[in-house]
Homo-oligomer: A and B are copies of this chain.
Amino acid sequence: MELLKDRIAREGVNLGQGILKVDSFINHQVDPALMLAVGGALAARLAHLGANKIVTAEISGIAPALMTGLALGIPVVYARKTKPVTMHPNAMRATAPSHTKGTVTELMISPEFLGPRDHVLIVDDFLARGKTIRALVELIRQAGATLVGIGAVIEKRFEGGREELANLNVPIESLVVVTSMENGHIIMED
């Protein structure tokens, strides 16, 4: 996706240790028109899988998932990290270790919004080590729903998430693949 590659090339910052800062258009400030294009591009690659629901994780997954859901005409469920007072008492729960924070994050989805009839796409901002997506897969499994595919805005190929998720046997689509961040560079696949 050239629009996104150009934006990463211009505004992405390599903070070292594999951390790619895209706070000016995805993770803190969001460019809605870019997100609309991102959602359209992910939808075009994933529409054939026939999903009826998208699952993502708060916080940064919400914008790309929402726009993908808009393009596909299906609802988006975002897994919560803290239990809101409105949440169903028997929420499904799974945990994911955070590489950058050194902590463990719990993700929760209410059984009201994910169940055995659902065919689910996971959409997230980054595919890095695949740990957050693993936790979302676990929630989908607990719900008895069927995972049909995974979409990421940016894949950090060198962190191995694609291999981590290979045994799920579902299509994994990412719009931009970063192959290396060594020596301060941000190298993207053509």
Contact = CB atoms under 8 A, between A and B. Distances in A.
Copies of this chain in its oligomeric complex: 2
The A contact surface, by secondary structure, is mixed
Interface string A71-82: 001111110100
26 contacts: A13-B86, A15-B85, A15-B86, A19-B85, A21-B86, A23-B87, A24-B112, A24-B113, A28-B80, A28-B84, A28-B86, A28-B113, A29-B76, A29-B77, A29-B112, A30-B76, A30-B77, A30-B78, A32-B66, A32-B67, A33-B70, A35-B66, A36-B70, A59-B62, A63-B66, A66-B67
7 smallest beta-carbon distances between A and B, as pairs? A32-B70, A32-B69, A21-B86, A29-B113, A85-B100, A30-B76, A29-B77
